[in-house]
Amino acid sequence: MTMRHAIKGFSLFELLLVTVIIGAVINIGVYYFQERAFREGLDNTSVQMQLILNAAAAYYVDNTAWPPSLACLQGQSGCTNIYLGAPPHNPYNANFTTAAVYPFYVVSVTLPFVNAAQGAGAARVLAGKLPMATASGSTVTAYQNVPGQALNKAPSANFAGLYKHGGCIPVPRCPGTNMVPNVFLVPVSVSGLNEASPSTNIYPVSSFTAYVTGGANILAPDLCQNSTSMSTGTTTCTSAGSPAPTGYWRACLELITERGNVAQTNTGTGVNSWGKNVTMMAITRCAVPKEASGSDFSVFGN
């Protein structure tokens, strides 16, 4: 009796099915790696843009001005200090452009996608990875606020100090080119007014007017009204600090007490010595341009 063995093989359908499955797996893998490279490219670009903004902020802290160029941050173009390490290079070979647009420092990059829709989508994703950025087409622009002077905190006080009548108040160096220096002045200690020294009499203050003379770029502010001399013995204020202030305000005070109008002198004895016994608090700040009238600053007393 003769035995015959049937030999089975893969049908054409089975071969096609396996080929389709392998192709699908390959396509999924290729898409995954392309998507991963796309995301990592945007992550790398966002990090580099943020590094440039951080370097610009560090430059501003040291120089009270935005850097003139990207090369300056790298210690080139006449700048000696290095705020940014290796030149930024992103996977898209796209150049970064920088500019000072008051009160911001901006960094822009245009993603070189041939397909406009793809470029606009990538720009929106990149803008979402940065703290403050906008996307227009395939171009992304990121912004850096002035360090230490966020516009939403502009009414806050920057510095406070105590001064005698006729004292010199340094004008703060405000960031940018349009910020306006302001000062608030209020008496905090008054004693021995128009009385022979020492005096034990107490006269409540009915009203007062605290004001300043001088301002930015003025090193010799005008004397206070009705004053003949200053506690420093000179009308020119002494420069102090590094860098030195660009100007000074003269602290002045007029008082009305139950005894009458207080004479304003800062030297002498007896009735002419009250200026030595009055202390004022000056609070300086930098205000944004075209600030609304009024202030959130208040003085409370009893």
Per residue in 183-202, pLDDT (tens digit) is 888 888 776 565 555 566 66
pTM, 2 dp: 0.47
Q: Is residue 299 part of a domain?
A: no
Sign of the CA dihedral with 243 first, then 153, 180, and 253 last = negative
21, 50: one domain: yes
Q: What is the pLDDT along the chain (302 residues), one digit of tens a residue?
A: 556 655 566 677 667 777 777 777 777 766 655 666 677 888 888 888 888 998 888 888 777 678 888 888 888 888 888 888 876 677 777 788 888 887 789 999 888 887 888 888 888 988 888 888 899 998 999 998 877 654 444 445 667 888 888 888 888 877 656 678 888 888 887 765 655 555 666 667 777 788 888 888 888 888 877 665 444 445 678 765 556 777 889 888 877 777 666 655 555 555 555 666 678 889 888 776 666 565 555 555 54
Q: Is 186 exposed, middle or buried (0-12, 13-18, 19+ CB in 10 A)?
A: middle
Number of domains comprising the chain: 2
- The token duo for 227 is 């004053």
Domain boundary among 144, 178, 194: 144
Three-state secondary structure call for residue 217: coil
Q: Is 78 left (phi over 0), alpha (psi -120 to 50) or beta?
A: left
Q: Is residue 169 part of a domain?
A: yes
Domain boundary among 144, 159, 194: 144
281, 158: one domain: yes
Cis, peptide link before residue 289, omega less than 30° from 0: no
Residue 99, domain extent = 13-144
113, 134: one domain: yes
190, 138: one domain: no
Whether the CB-CB separation of 216 and 292 falls below 8 Å is answered with: no
pLDDT in tens, 217-272: 888 888 877 665 444 445 678 765 556 777 889 888 877 777 666 655 555 555 55
Cβ-proximal residues to 205 (8 Å cutoff; 6+ apart), any chain: 187, 190, 255, 256, 257
Strand partners, 209: 254
Q: Is residue 300 part of a domain?
A: no
DSSP string for 224-270 = PTT----TTSSSSPPP-SSSPPS-EEEEEEEEEETTEEPP--SSSSG
